[in-house]
A and B are shown apart, each in its own frame.
Chain A
Amino acid sequence: MRRDADLGFAAAFAPPLLDPAREVPTAVAGRNGKPAGRRYDVYRNNVTVSLIETLAAIYPAVQRITGPDFFRAMARFHVRSSPPASPLLFDYGRDFPDFVANYAHAHDMPWLADVARIERAWLDAYHAADALPLAPALLSTIALERLGGLVLTPHPATRIVRSPYAAVTIFAANRDSAPVARIDASTPEDALITRAEFDVVVRHLPPGGAVFAASLMSGQPLGAAAMAAFDASPEFDIAANIAGLIEAGAFTSLAAGDA
Protein backbone atom coordinates (compact mmCIF):
# COMPACT_ATOMS: atom_id res chain seq x y z
CA MET A 1 0.00 0.00 0.00
CA ARG A 2 1.28 3.43 -0.90
CA ARG A 3 2.24 5.66 1.99
CA ASP A 4 1.23 9.20 1.12
CA ALA A 5 3.85 10.62 3.50
CA ASP A 6 6.50 9.26 1.12
CA LEU A 7 4.93 10.92 -1.89
CA GLY A 8 4.74 14.50 -0.67
CA PHE A 9 7.62 15.60 -2.91
CA ALA A 10 5.42 17.18 -5.55
CA ALA A 11 3.43 19.17 -2.98
CA ALA A 12 6.72 20.66 -1.73
CA PHE A 13 8.29 21.12 -5.16
CA ALA A 14 5.37 22.63 -7.10
CA PRO A 15 4.17 25.79 -5.25
CA PRO A 16 7.37 27.89 -5.63
CA LEU A 17 7.57 27.14 -9.37
CA LEU A 18 5.21 30.01 -10.19
CA ASP A 19 5.70 32.03 -7.01
CA PRO A 20 9.09 33.76 -6.82
CA ALA A 21 8.28 34.97 -3.28
CA ARG A 22 8.39 31.39 -1.98
CA GLU A 23 11.63 29.84 -0.77
CA VAL A 24 13.41 27.18 -2.81
CA PRO A 25 12.28 23.79 -1.39
CA THR A 26 14.68 22.31 1.17
CA ALA A 27 13.89 18.74 0.06
CA VAL A 28 16.10 19.25 -3.00
CA ALA A 29 19.84 19.88 -3.20
CA GLY A 30 22.70 20.83 -5.49
CA ARG A 31 26.11 19.18 -5.37
CA ASN A 32 27.32 17.82 -2.02
CA GLY A 33 24.00 18.53 -0.35
CA LYS A 34 24.19 22.29 -0.87
CA PRO A 35 20.90 24.23 -1.21
CA ALA A 36 19.49 23.88 -4.72
CA GLY A 37 19.39 27.67 -5.33
CA ARG A 38 19.83 28.47 -9.01
CA ARG A 39 19.38 24.83 -9.92
CA TYR A 40 15.77 25.02 -8.73
CA ASP A 41 15.45 28.30 -10.62
CA VAL A 42 16.09 26.40 -13.87
CA TYR A 43 12.71 24.70 -13.35
CA ARG A 44 11.06 28.00 -12.39
CA ASN A 45 12.42 29.53 -15.57
CA ASN A 46 11.44 26.57 -17.78
CA VAL A 47 7.88 26.64 -16.48
CA THR A 48 7.36 30.40 -16.64
CA VAL A 49 9.10 31.04 -19.96
CA SER A 50 7.51 28.09 -21.74
CA LEU A 51 4.04 29.18 -20.66
CA ILE A 52 4.68 32.80 -21.67
CA GLU A 53 5.82 31.48 -25.06
CA THR A 54 2.66 29.40 -25.27
CA LEU A 55 0.58 32.56 -24.84
CA ALA A 56 2.76 34.41 -27.37
CA ALA A 57 2.12 31.61 -29.89
CA ILE A 58 -1.65 31.77 -29.32
CA TYR A 59 -1.79 35.61 -29.34
CA PRO A 60 0.77 36.77 -31.94
CA ALA A 61 -1.24 39.87 -32.99
CA VAL A 62 -1.58 40.99 -29.37
CA GLN A 63 2.18 40.60 -28.97
CA ARG A 64 2.88 42.52 -32.18
CA ILE A 65 0.64 45.37 -31.01
CA THR A 66 2.11 45.62 -27.50
CA GLY A 67 5.69 44.70 -28.37
CA PRO A 68 7.42 41.67 -26.83
CA ASP A 69 8.50 43.31 -23.54
CA PHE A 70 5.01 44.57 -22.70
CA PHE A 71 3.49 41.25 -23.78
CA ARG A 72 5.89 39.12 -21.74
CA ALA A 73 5.34 41.20 -18.60
CA MET A 74 1.56 40.96 -19.03
CA ALA A 75 1.71 37.24 -19.84
CA ARG A 76 3.95 36.55 -16.83
CA PHE A 77 1.27 37.94 -14.48
CA HIS A 78 -1.33 35.76 -16.17
CA VAL A 79 0.82 32.61 -16.17
CA ARG A 80 1.49 33.01 -12.43
CA SER A 81 -2.13 33.64 -11.51
CA SER A 82 -3.73 31.18 -13.96
CA PRO A 83 -1.46 28.27 -14.91
CA PRO A 84 -2.87 25.73 -17.38
CA ALA A 85 -5.35 23.21 -16.05
CA SER A 86 -4.78 20.82 -18.97
CA PRO A 87 -1.70 19.40 -20.69
CA LEU A 88 -3.19 20.45 -24.03
CA LEU A 89 -1.46 23.79 -24.47
CA PHE A 90 -3.61 24.82 -27.41
CA ASP A 91 -6.42 24.99 -24.86
CA TYR A 92 -4.48 27.34 -22.60
CA GLY A 93 -5.23 31.04 -22.19
CA ARG A 94 -9.03 30.97 -22.53
CA ASP A 95 -9.27 33.56 -19.76
CA PHE A 96 -6.37 35.63 -21.13
CA PRO A 97 -8.64 38.02 -23.11
CA ASP A 98 -10.57 38.87 -19.91
CA PHE A 99 -7.25 39.32 -18.13
CA VAL A 100 -6.11 41.70 -20.89
CA ALA A 101 -9.39 43.64 -20.57
CA ASN A 102 -8.65 44.24 -16.89
CA TYR A 103 -4.89 44.79 -17.23
CA ALA A 104 -4.26 48.35 -16.03
CA HIS A 105 -1.35 49.04 -18.41
CA ALA A 106 -3.53 48.10 -21.42
CA HIS A 107 -6.40 50.49 -20.61
CA ASP A 108 -5.46 52.83 -23.45
CA MET A 109 -5.93 49.91 -25.88
CA PRO A 110 -9.57 49.02 -25.11
CA TRP A 111 -9.81 46.92 -28.29
CA LEU A 112 -6.85 44.69 -27.32
CA ALA A 113 -9.00 42.14 -25.46
CA ASP A 114 -11.27 41.72 -28.50
CA VAL A 115 -8.26 41.15 -30.74
CA ALA A 116 -7.23 38.44 -28.25
CA ARG A 117 -10.75 36.95 -28.41
CA ILE A 118 -10.46 36.68 -32.20
CA GLU A 119 -7.04 35.01 -31.87
CA ARG A 120 -8.42 32.54 -29.32
CA ALA A 121 -11.35 31.76 -31.67
CA TRP A 122 -8.87 31.38 -34.56
CA LEU A 123 -6.98 28.64 -32.70
CA ASP A 124 -10.19 26.91 -31.64
CA ALA A 125 -11.29 26.85 -35.28
CA TYR A 126 -7.86 25.51 -36.30
CA HIS A 127 -8.15 22.49 -33.98
CA ALA A 128 -11.91 21.92 -34.35
CA ALA A 129 -13.24 18.65 -35.75
CA ASP A 130 -13.27 18.27 -39.52
CA ALA A 131 -16.68 18.43 -41.21
CA LEU A 132 -18.00 18.96 -44.72
CA PRO A 133 -19.64 22.38 -45.12
CA LEU A 134 -23.18 22.67 -46.42
CA ALA A 135 -23.26 22.69 -50.23
CA PRO A 136 -24.52 26.15 -51.35
CA ALA A 137 -26.84 24.55 -53.93
CA LEU A 138 -28.77 22.71 -51.23
CA LEU A 139 -30.55 25.81 -50.01
CA SER A 140 -32.04 26.52 -53.45
CA THR A 141 -33.82 23.15 -53.35
CA ILE A 142 -35.91 24.21 -50.35
CA ALA A 143 -39.47 25.40 -51.08
CA LEU A 144 -39.90 29.08 -50.29
CA GLU A 145 -42.63 28.53 -47.68
CA ARG A 146 -40.37 26.18 -45.72
CA LEU A 147 -37.36 28.51 -45.56
CA GLY A 148 -38.48 30.26 -42.37
CA GLY A 149 -38.56 27.01 -40.44
CA LEU A 150 -35.11 25.80 -41.47
CA VAL A 151 -32.66 24.94 -38.73
CA LEU A 152 -28.94 24.85 -39.55
CA THR A 153 -26.18 22.89 -37.84
CA PRO A 154 -23.03 24.97 -37.27
CA HIS A 155 -19.67 23.64 -38.45
CA PRO A 156 -17.54 22.66 -35.40
CA ALA A 157 -15.03 25.39 -36.31
CA THR A 158 -17.48 28.30 -36.59
CA ARG A 159 -17.06 31.15 -34.06
CA ILE A 160 -18.38 34.70 -33.74
CA VAL A 161 -16.63 37.52 -31.91
CA ARG A 162 -18.41 40.89 -31.51
CA SER A 163 -16.53 44.07 -30.73
CA PRO A 164 -17.48 47.73 -30.15
CA TYR A 165 -14.08 48.49 -31.78
CA ALA A 166 -12.44 47.73 -35.13
CA ALA A 167 -11.01 44.52 -33.68
CA VAL A 168 -11.24 42.54 -36.93
CA THR A 169 -9.24 45.11 -38.92
CA ILE A 170 -6.68 45.44 -36.11
CA PHE A 171 -6.41 41.63 -35.85
CA ALA A 172 -5.93 41.18 -39.61
CA ALA A 173 -3.33 43.95 -39.87
CA ASN A 174 -1.27 42.48 -37.02
CA ARG A 175 -1.32 38.80 -38.00
CA ASP A 176 0.84 39.85 -40.91
CA SER A 177 4.37 41.17 -40.91
CA ALA A 178 3.58 44.05 -43.28
CA PRO A 179 3.60 47.60 -41.83
CA VAL A 180 0.28 48.59 -40.27
CA ALA A 181 -1.46 51.69 -41.64
CA ARG A 182 -3.39 53.93 -39.25
CA ILE A 183 -6.67 52.27 -38.22
CA ASP A 184 -9.73 54.06 -36.87
CA ALA A 185 -10.39 51.82 -33.89
CA SER A 186 -13.78 53.33 -33.08
CA THR A 187 -15.81 51.48 -35.76
CA PRO A 188 -17.63 48.48 -34.24
CA GLU A 189 -16.81 45.21 -36.02
CA ASP A 190 -18.04 41.64 -35.73
CA ALA A 191 -15.92 38.68 -36.79
CA LEU A 192 -16.98 35.39 -38.32
CA ILE A 193 -14.31 32.73 -37.91
CA THR A 194 -14.64 29.57 -40.03
CA ARG A 195 -12.56 26.67 -41.28
CA ALA A 196 -14.43 25.05 -44.13
CA GLU A 197 -11.54 22.74 -44.93
CA PHE A 198 -8.04 23.41 -43.59
CA ASP A 199 -7.58 27.17 -43.68
CA VAL A 200 -9.02 29.30 -40.90
CA VAL A 201 -10.64 32.43 -42.37
CA VAL A 202 -11.71 35.52 -40.42
CA ARG A 203 -14.38 37.70 -42.07
CA HIS A 204 -16.20 40.91 -41.16
CA LEU A 205 -19.89 40.36 -40.59
CA PRO A 206 -22.24 42.98 -42.09
CA PRO A 207 -24.77 44.86 -39.90
CA GLY A 208 -27.10 42.43 -38.10
CA GLY A 209 -24.96 39.54 -39.31
CA ALA A 210 -23.59 38.60 -35.91
CA VAL A 211 -27.04 38.44 -34.32
CA PHE A 212 -28.30 36.43 -37.30
CA ALA A 213 -25.40 33.96 -37.28
CA ALA A 214 -25.43 33.59 -33.49
CA SER A 215 -29.19 32.92 -33.51
CA LEU A 216 -28.78 30.27 -36.20
CA MET A 217 -25.88 28.69 -34.34
CA SER A 218 -27.99 28.48 -31.19
CA GLY A 219 -30.59 26.48 -33.12
CA GLN A 220 -33.11 29.24 -33.89
CA PRO A 221 -34.99 28.67 -37.18
CA LEU A 222 -34.08 30.91 -40.09
CA GLY A 223 -37.21 33.08 -39.80
CA ALA A 224 -36.73 33.83 -36.12
CA ALA A 225 -32.99 34.49 -36.65
CA ALA A 226 -33.80 36.97 -39.43
CA MET A 227 -36.33 38.77 -37.21
CA ALA A 228 -33.75 39.09 -34.45
CA ALA A 229 -31.22 40.44 -36.97
CA PHE A 230 -33.72 43.04 -38.30
CA ASP A 231 -34.43 44.12 -34.73
CA ALA A 232 -30.71 44.58 -34.17
CA SER A 233 -30.09 46.39 -37.44
CA PRO A 234 -32.64 47.74 -39.94
CA GLU A 235 -29.94 47.50 -42.64
CA PHE A 236 -29.84 43.71 -42.30
CA ASP A 237 -29.77 42.03 -45.74
CA ILE A 238 -31.06 38.48 -45.34
CA ALA A 239 -30.10 37.14 -48.79
CA ALA A 240 -26.53 38.47 -48.62
CA ASN A 241 -26.07 37.17 -45.08
CA ILE A 242 -27.34 33.66 -45.83
CA ALA A 243 -25.18 33.46 -48.95
CA GLY A 244 -22.16 34.80 -47.07
CA LEU A 245 -22.48 32.34 -44.18
CA ILE A 246 -22.96 29.35 -46.47
CA GLU A 247 -20.06 30.38 -48.69
CA ALA A 248 -17.85 30.74 -45.61
CA GLY A 249 -18.68 27.15 -44.63
CA ALA A 250 -20.26 28.21 -41.34
CA PHE A 251 -22.80 25.36 -41.39
CA THR A 252 -22.75 21.67 -42.19
CA SER A 253 -26.38 20.68 -42.65
CA LEU A 254 -29.94 21.91 -42.58
CA ALA A 255 -33.22 20.45 -41.47
CA ALA A 256 -36.83 21.52 -41.64
CA GLY A 257 -37.65 22.79 -38.14
CA ASP A 258 -40.88 22.53 -36.19
CA ALA A 259 -42.17 25.86 -37.45
Chain B
Amino acid sequence: MITAIKPATVPLRFSLPIGGVAGTSFKPEHLPAILEAGPQAGFFEVHAENYMGAGGPPHRALETIRRDHPLSLHGVSMSIGGPQPLDKTHLARFRSLVARYQPALVSEHLAWSTHETSFFNDLLPLPYTEATLACVCDHIDQVQEAIRRPLLLENPSTYLTFRESAMSETDFIRGIVARTGCGLLLDINNVFVSATNHGFPALDYLADFPLAHVGEIHLAGHAEQTDDDGNLLLIDSHDGPVADAVWKLFEIIIARRGPVPTLIEWDSSIPAWPILRAEAAAAQAILDRCKLAAATEDRHAA
Protein backbone atom coordinates (compact mmCIF):
# COMPACT_ATOMS: atom_id res chain seq x y z
CA MET B 1 0.00 0.00 0.00
CA ILE B 2 1.46 3.34 -1.01
CA THR B 3 0.79 6.21 1.31
CA ALA B 4 -0.96 9.06 -0.42
CA ILE B 5 1.20 12.15 -0.32
CA LYS B 6 0.04 15.43 -1.78
CA PRO B 7 3.10 17.63 -1.98
CA ALA B 8 3.00 21.09 -3.45
CA THR B 9 3.83 20.82 -7.14
CA VAL B 10 6.05 23.17 -9.07
CA PRO B 11 4.29 24.16 -12.31
CA LEU B 12 5.80 22.82 -15.54
CA ARG B 13 7.50 25.53 -17.54
CA PHE B 14 8.86 23.39 -20.33
CA SER B 15 7.02 21.60 -23.04
CA LEU B 16 7.84 17.91 -23.09
CA PRO B 17 9.85 16.28 -24.54
CA ILE B 18 12.83 18.59 -24.13
CA GLY B 19 14.57 17.33 -27.28
CA GLY B 20 18.25 17.42 -28.16
CA VAL B 21 19.49 19.39 -25.16
CA ALA B 22 22.68 18.74 -23.23
CA GLY B 23 22.63 18.82 -19.45
CA THR B 24 24.86 18.22 -16.46
CA SER B 25 24.71 16.57 -13.07
CA PHE B 26 23.60 19.18 -10.54
CA LYS B 27 26.08 19.60 -7.70
CA PRO B 28 25.02 21.96 -4.88
CA GLU B 29 28.55 23.43 -4.72
CA HIS B 30 27.98 24.76 -8.26
CA LEU B 31 24.75 26.59 -7.37
CA PRO B 32 26.29 30.07 -6.83
CA ALA B 33 28.23 29.85 -10.14
CA ILE B 34 25.15 28.60 -12.00
CA LEU B 35 22.94 31.38 -10.64
CA GLU B 36 25.56 33.99 -11.42
CA ALA B 37 25.70 32.86 -15.06
CA GLY B 38 21.90 33.18 -15.34
CA PRO B 39 19.45 30.63 -16.79
CA GLN B 40 21.17 28.33 -19.27
CA ALA B 41 19.78 26.24 -22.07
CA GLY B 42 20.65 22.88 -20.51
CA PHE B 43 18.89 20.62 -18.07
CA PHE B 44 20.10 19.41 -14.68
CA GLU B 45 20.02 15.88 -13.35
CA VAL B 46 19.92 14.96 -9.67
CA HIS B 47 20.09 11.69 -7.78
CA ALA B 48 16.61 11.32 -6.34
CA GLU B 49 17.85 9.91 -3.01
CA ASN B 50 19.71 13.12 -2.16
CA TYR B 51 16.38 14.96 -2.08
CA MET B 52 14.43 12.52 0.03
CA GLY B 53 14.97 14.40 3.26
CA ALA B 54 12.04 16.32 4.76
CA GLY B 55 13.34 19.84 4.13
CA GLY B 56 16.31 22.15 4.45
CA PRO B 57 18.91 23.44 1.97
CA PRO B 58 18.71 20.51 -0.51
CA HIS B 59 15.08 21.24 -1.38
CA ARG B 60 15.71 24.96 -1.51
CA ALA B 61 18.56 24.43 -3.98
CA LEU B 62 16.49 22.07 -6.11
CA GLU B 63 13.52 24.44 -6.19
CA THR B 64 15.86 27.23 -7.29
CA ILE B 65 17.32 25.15 -10.11
CA ARG B 66 13.92 23.81 -11.13
CA ARG B 67 12.44 27.28 -11.50
CA ASP B 68 14.54 28.07 -14.56
CA HIS B 69 15.68 24.71 -15.94
CA PRO B 70 14.26 21.36 -16.94
CA LEU B 71 15.04 18.67 -14.37
CA SER B 72 15.98 15.03 -14.73
CA LEU B 73 15.28 12.84 -11.69
CA HIS B 74 17.68 9.90 -11.63
CA GLY B 75 17.03 7.18 -9.07
CA VAL B 76 20.03 5.14 -7.98
CA SER B 77 18.68 2.74 -5.36
CA MET B 78 15.26 1.37 -6.30
CA SER B 79 16.94 -2.06 -6.67
CA ILE B 80 14.76 -2.86 -9.69
CA GLY B 81 17.09 -5.69 -10.71
CA GLY B 82 16.98 -7.43 -7.34
CA PRO B 83 14.89 -10.51 -6.58
CA GLN B 84 13.17 -9.13 -3.51
CA PRO B 85 10.03 -6.97 -3.64
CA LEU B 86 10.53 -3.23 -4.11
CA ASP B 87 10.72 -1.17 -0.93
CA LYS B 88 7.25 0.40 -0.86
CA THR B 89 8.37 3.25 1.38
CA HIS B 90 11.14 4.11 -1.04
CA LEU B 91 8.77 3.90 -4.00
CA ALA B 92 6.39 6.30 -2.24
CA ARG B 93 9.25 8.76 -1.63
CA PHE B 94 10.25 8.52 -5.30
CA ARG B 95 6.67 9.12 -6.41
CA SER B 96 6.32 12.13 -4.17
CA LEU B 97 9.50 13.70 -5.62
CA VAL B 98 8.17 13.18 -9.16
CA ALA B 99 4.89 14.82 -8.14
CA ARG B 100 6.59 17.72 -6.39
CA TYR B 101 9.23 18.62 -8.99
CA GLN B 102 7.52 17.47 -12.22
CA PRO B 103 10.82 16.45 -13.84
CA ALA B 104 11.18 16.36 -17.62
CA LEU B 105 12.96 13.00 -17.35
CA VAL B 106 12.69 10.18 -14.78
CA SER B 107 15.13 7.29 -14.79
CA GLU B 108 16.42 4.31 -12.80
CA HIS B 109 18.92 1.48 -13.28
CA LEU B 110 18.95 -2.09 -14.48
CA ALA B 111 20.76 -3.14 -11.31
CA TRP B 112 20.16 -3.94 -7.65
CA SER B 113 21.60 -2.47 -4.47
CA THR B 114 19.60 -3.92 -1.56
CA HIS B 115 19.63 -7.51 -0.34
CA GLU B 116 17.53 -8.49 2.66
CA THR B 117 18.00 -5.45 4.92
CA SER B 118 21.40 -4.27 3.69
CA PHE B 119 21.83 -1.40 1.25
CA PHE B 120 25.15 -1.73 -0.60
CA ASN B 121 25.28 1.69 -2.29
CA ASP B 122 26.47 0.24 -5.59
CA LEU B 123 24.78 -0.78 -8.85
CA LEU B 124 25.13 -4.55 -8.66
CA PRO B 125 24.73 -6.87 -11.67
CA LEU B 126 22.13 -9.54 -12.36
CA PRO B 127 21.92 -12.64 -14.54
CA TYR B 128 19.85 -12.40 -17.71
CA THR B 129 17.30 -15.22 -17.56
CA GLU B 130 13.55 -15.61 -18.11
CA ALA B 131 13.09 -15.56 -14.32
CA THR B 132 15.00 -12.30 -13.78
CA LEU B 133 13.29 -10.74 -16.82
CA ALA B 134 9.87 -11.46 -15.33
CA CYS B 135 10.97 -10.06 -11.98
CA VAL B 136 12.48 -6.85 -13.44
CA CYS B 137 9.37 -6.23 -15.58
CA ASP B 138 7.18 -6.72 -12.53
CA HIS B 139 9.22 -4.08 -10.66
CA ILE B 140 9.14 -1.61 -13.56
CA ASP B 141 5.36 -2.04 -13.81
CA GLN B 142 5.11 -1.08 -10.13
CA VAL B 143 7.33 1.99 -10.54
CA GLN B 144 5.45 3.20 -13.64
CA GLU B 145 2.15 2.57 -11.91
CA ALA B 146 3.32 4.67 -8.96
CA ILE B 147 4.74 7.61 -10.92
CA ARG B 148 2.06 7.51 -13.62
CA ARG B 149 4.54 7.94 -16.46
CA PRO B 150 7.11 5.88 -18.33
CA LEU B 151 10.45 5.29 -16.67
CA LEU B 152 13.74 5.46 -18.56
CA LEU B 153 15.80 2.39 -17.63
CA GLU B 154 19.60 2.68 -17.77
CA ASN B 155 21.84 -0.06 -19.16
CA PRO B 156 24.52 -1.08 -16.62
CA SER B 157 28.29 -1.12 -16.71
CA THR B 158 29.51 -4.53 -15.55
CA TYR B 159 32.80 -6.13 -14.55
CA LEU B 160 31.74 -9.78 -14.64
CA THR B 161 29.03 -12.06 -16.02
CA PHE B 162 26.71 -14.65 -14.47
CA ARG B 163 27.24 -18.23 -15.63
CA GLU B 164 23.46 -18.77 -15.61
CA SER B 165 22.73 -15.91 -18.05
CA ALA B 166 20.75 -17.31 -20.96
CA MET B 167 20.39 -14.24 -23.15
CA SER B 168 22.37 -11.15 -24.12
CA GLU B 169 21.95 -7.88 -22.28
CA THR B 170 20.43 -6.26 -25.36
CA ASP B 171 17.91 -9.12 -25.74
CA PHE B 172 17.07 -8.72 -22.07
CA ILE B 173 16.58 -4.96 -22.44
CA ARG B 174 14.48 -5.39 -25.57
CA GLY B 175 12.33 -7.85 -23.65
CA ILE B 176 11.83 -5.30 -20.88
CA VAL B 177 10.80 -2.58 -23.33
CA ALA B 178 8.37 -4.88 -25.12
CA ARG B 179 6.70 -6.02 -21.90
CA THR B 180 6.61 -2.80 -19.85
CA GLY B 181 6.59 0.00 -22.42
CA CYS B 182 9.35 1.75 -20.50
CA GLY B 183 11.86 4.01 -22.25
CA LEU B 184 15.62 3.66 -22.09
CA LEU B 185 18.48 5.73 -20.82
CA LEU B 186 21.45 4.75 -22.96
CA ASP B 187 24.67 5.23 -21.03
CA ILE B 188 27.30 5.15 -23.75
CA ASN B 189 30.15 5.14 -21.26
CA ASN B 190 28.60 2.05 -19.66
CA VAL B 191 28.47 0.37 -23.07
CA PHE B 192 32.13 1.21 -23.67
CA VAL B 193 33.14 0.03 -20.18
CA SER B 194 31.24 -3.28 -20.48
CA ALA B 195 32.44 -3.86 -24.06
CA THR B 196 36.07 -3.39 -22.99
CA ASN B 197 35.65 -5.50 -19.87
CA HIS B 198 33.99 -8.41 -21.63
CA GLY B 199 35.80 -8.13 -24.95
CA PHE B 200 32.96 -7.40 -27.38
CA PRO B 201 32.72 -4.50 -29.85
CA ALA B 202 30.71 -1.57 -28.44
CA LEU B 203 29.26 -0.94 -31.90
CA ASP B 204 27.82 -4.48 -32.03
CA TYR B 205 26.05 -3.84 -28.74
CA LEU B 206 24.77 -0.49 -29.97
CA ALA B 207 23.60 -1.99 -33.27
CA ASP B 208 21.54 -4.42 -31.22
CA PHE B 209 20.19 -1.79 -28.81
CA PRO B 210 16.59 -0.61 -29.34
CA LEU B 211 17.58 2.99 -30.13
CA ALA B 212 14.04 4.08 -30.98
CA HIS B 213 13.16 3.79 -27.27
CA VAL B 214 16.09 5.86 -26.01
CA GLY B 215 14.82 8.99 -24.25
CA GLU B 216 18.12 10.12 -22.72
CA ILE B 217 21.83 9.53 -23.12
CA HIS B 218 24.51 9.56 -20.43
CA LEU B 219 28.17 10.35 -21.06
CA ALA B 220 30.78 10.04 -18.31
CA GLY B 221 34.42 9.43 -17.58
CA HIS B 222 35.93 6.09 -16.53
CA ALA B 223 39.09 4.83 -14.84
CA GLU B 224 41.45 2.02 -15.85
CA GLN B 225 42.52 -1.10 -13.92
CA THR B 226 43.46 -4.63 -14.92
CA ASP B 227 41.92 -8.01 -14.12
CA ASP B 228 43.77 -11.13 -12.85
CA ASP B 229 45.01 -11.93 -16.37
CA GLY B 230 46.26 -8.41 -17.07
CA ASN B 231 43.29 -7.53 -19.29
CA LEU B 232 42.22 -3.90 -19.24
CA LEU B 233 39.33 -3.47 -16.80
CA LEU B 234 37.47 -0.17 -17.05
CA ILE B 235 35.74 1.23 -13.97
CA ASP B 236 32.63 3.40 -14.34
CA SER B 237 34.02 6.08 -12.02
CA HIS B 238 32.29 9.33 -13.18
CA ASP B 239 35.34 11.20 -11.96
CA GLY B 240 36.74 12.79 -15.11
CA PRO B 241 36.11 14.02 -18.65
CA VAL B 242 34.36 11.86 -21.25
CA ALA B 243 36.85 9.65 -23.15
CA ASP B 244 37.48 10.29 -26.87
CA ALA B 245 36.19 6.84 -27.81
CA VAL B 246 32.93 7.54 -25.96
CA TRP B 247 32.52 10.89 -27.78
CA LYS B 248 32.99 9.03 -31.08
CA LEU B 249 30.31 6.48 -30.17
CA PHE B 250 28.03 9.33 -29.13
CA GLU B 251 28.38 11.01 -32.55
CA ILE B 252 27.56 7.74 -34.29
CA ILE B 253 24.50 7.13 -32.11
CA ILE B 254 23.18 10.69 -32.48
CA ALA B 255 23.55 10.46 -36.27
CA ARG B 256 21.58 7.22 -36.15
CA ARG B 257 18.99 8.09 -33.51
CA GLY B 258 18.64 11.86 -33.92
CA PRO B 259 19.14 14.32 -31.04
CA VAL B 260 18.02 13.26 -27.55
CA PRO B 261 18.61 14.87 -24.12
CA THR B 262 22.23 14.10 -23.21
CA LEU B 263 23.78 14.29 -19.78
CA ILE B 264 27.38 14.80 -18.75
CA GLU B 265 27.61 12.76 -15.55
CA TRP B 266 30.34 13.78 -13.13
CA ASP B 267 29.92 12.56 -9.55
CA SER B 268 33.33 12.58 -7.89
CA SER B 269 36.49 14.69 -8.16
CA ILE B 270 33.92 17.27 -9.25
CA PRO B 271 35.49 20.10 -11.29
CA ALA B 272 34.64 23.80 -11.22
CA TRP B 273 31.36 24.67 -12.95
CA PRO B 274 32.94 26.12 -16.16
CA ILE B 275 34.71 22.79 -16.86
CA LEU B 276 31.52 20.78 -16.45
CA ARG B 277 29.62 23.31 -18.55
CA ALA B 278 32.26 23.05 -21.29
CA GLU B 279 31.75 19.25 -21.45
CA ALA B 280 28.00 19.87 -21.86
CA ALA B 281 28.72 22.46 -24.57
CA ALA B 282 30.77 19.83 -26.45
CA ALA B 283 27.79 17.45 -26.31
CA GLN B 284 25.45 20.26 -27.39
CA ALA B 285 27.65 20.99 -30.44
CA ILE B 286 27.29 17.37 -31.58
CA LEU B 287 23.52 17.46 -31.00
CA ASP B 288 23.23 20.76 -32.92
CA ARG B 289 25.29 19.47 -35.86
CA CYS B 290 22.86 16.59 -36.13
CA LYS B 291 19.86 18.94 -36.05
CA LEU B 292 21.47 21.08 -38.75
CA ALA B 293 22.16 18.05 -40.92
CA ALA B 294 18.55 16.94 -40.55
CA ALA B 295 17.29 20.42 -41.49
CA THR B 296 19.53 20.47 -44.56
CA GLU B 297 18.26 17.07 -45.63
CA ASP B 298 14.69 18.31 -45.22
CA ARG B 299 15.41 21.29 -47.47
CA HIS B 300 16.96 19.05 -50.10
CA ALA B 301 13.99 16.73 -49.95
CA ALA B 302 11.54 19.63 -50.32
Contacts and interface: CB of A to CB of B under 8 A. Distances in A.
Nearest to B53: A127
B9 interface: no
A198 B227 CA distance: 47
**Residue in A18, A34, A43, A157 with the greatest tally of chain B CB atoms within 10 Å:** A43
**Residue in B112, B118, B126 with the greatest tally of chain A CB atoms within 10 Å:** B118
**Residue in B79, B84, B159 with the greatest tally of chain A CB atoms within 10 Å:** B159
A183 interface: no
Nearest to B54: A129
B233 A87 contact: no
A50 B55 contact: no
Interface residues of B, number: 57
A37 B163 CA distance: 14
B83 A7 contact: yes
A38 interface: yes
A88 B121 contact: no
Interface string B84-124: 10010010000000000000000000001111111111101
A207 interface: no
Contact of B54 (A7, A26, A33, A128): A128
A197 B155 CA distance: 40
Nearest to B59: A130
Contacts of B58: 127
A28 B135 contact: no
A221 B35 CA distance: 46
A42 B233 contact: yes
A16 B191 CA distance: 26
A211 to B, nearest CB: 27
A4 B134 CA distance: 12
B198 interface: yes
Contact of A47 (B53, B79, B122): B122
Contact of A29 (B90, B160, B231, B233): B160
A56 interface: no
A93 interface: no
Given A6-B131, A28-B162, A83 B126 contact: no
A58 B160 CA distance: 32
A90 B130 CA distance: 36
B291 to A, nearest CB: 37
Contacts of A54: 121
B24 interface: no
Interface string A1-29: 01110111111011001100000001111
A16 B119 CA distance: 14
Nearest to A13: B124
B246 to A, nearest CB: 19
A119 to B, nearest CB: 16
Interface of B: 49-50, 52-60, 76-77, 79, 82-84, 87, 90, 112-122, 124-127, 129-132, 134-135, 159-164, 197-199, 225-229, 231, 233, 235
Would you list the 8 A-B pairs with minimal beta carbon distance, nearest first? A127-B53, A6-B131, A87-B77, A7-B83, A130-B55, A129-B54, A14-B115, A37-B228
Interface of A: 2-4, 6-11, 13-14, 17-18, 26-31, 33-40, 42-43, 46-47, 50-51, 54, 83-90, 125-131, 156-157, 195, 198
17 contacts: A4-B83, A11-B83, A13-B124, A30-B227, A35-B228, A36-B159, A46-B122, A84-B121, A85-B117, A87-B76, A87-B79, A87-B90, A88-B49, A89-B49, A127-B56, A128-B53, A130-B55
